[in-house]
């Protein structure tokens, strides 16, 4: 099952990439929503190989995942692989400079089941694909607007 969207923002590509690389902010946001997040690599700055273990409740069950940054090419792309028992998720973020002050961000997420219970979960998600796609696009659009606001805010 795959979701993808793109947003054009009034932020230079380098600044957009830096904002997308603020992983501590994403960790705090996940913890604020009730997830347990633990960074497990020894890297001192963003790079391929960054790894997190996370646990959260979803559909009445505790889920544990490992998230690994497998591609980190400044300032154009990032790829994260999420693995859990039965499921794999690939998230790709691609940035394209449209001008000196404008960037296109493309976000793609693909979820792949590897066992019967995961297939049933993905099948139930497929039944709601239209509404999930709208939510996915709205979330990315909201985040992109927030990036613009942060960039344009007085420093």
pLDDT digits (tens, 9 = 90+) for 37-84: 999 999 999 999 999 999 999 878 899 999 999 999 999 999 999 999
Q: What is the CATH number of the domain that holds 111?
A: 3.30.530.20
Strands 36-39 vs 51-58: parallel, antiparallel or unpaired: antiparallel
pLDDT tens by residue, 93-119: 999 999 999 999 999 999 999 999 899
Write out pLDDT tens, residues 113-145: 999 989 998 999 999 999 999 999 999 999 999
Total domains present in the chain: 1
Entry pTM: 0.91
> CA 146 to CA 150: how far, in whole Å?
6
Do the beta carbons of residue 78 and residue 20 sit within 8 Å? yes
The confidence band for 154, taking pLDDT boundaries of 50, 70 and 90, is: confident
Q: Given this model, what pLDDT does residue 155 score?
A: 67
- H or E, element range at 71: strand 61-73
Is-contact 114 94, C-beta < 8 A? no
- pLDDT given at position 41: 96
């Amino acid at each position: 099952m795959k979701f993808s969207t793109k947003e054009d923002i009034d932020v230079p590509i380098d600044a957009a990439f830096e904002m997308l690389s603020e992983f501590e902010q994403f960790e705090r946001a996940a913890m604020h929503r009730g997830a347990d997040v633990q960074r497990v690599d020894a890297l001192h700055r963003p790079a391929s190989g960054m790894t997190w273990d996370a646990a959260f409740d979803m559909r009445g069950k505790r889920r544990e995942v490992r998230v690994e940054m497998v591609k980190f090419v400044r300032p154009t792309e990032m790829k994260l692989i999420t693995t859990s028992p039965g499921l794999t998720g690939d998230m790709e973020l691609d940035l394209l400079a449209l001008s000196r002050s404008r960037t296109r961000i493309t976000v793609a997420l693909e979820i792949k089941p590897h066992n019967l219970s995961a297939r049933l979960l993905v099948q139930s998600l497929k039944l709601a694909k239209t509404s999930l796609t709208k939510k996915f696009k709205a979330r990315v659009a909201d985040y992109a607007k927030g990036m613009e606001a942060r960039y344009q805010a007085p420093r």
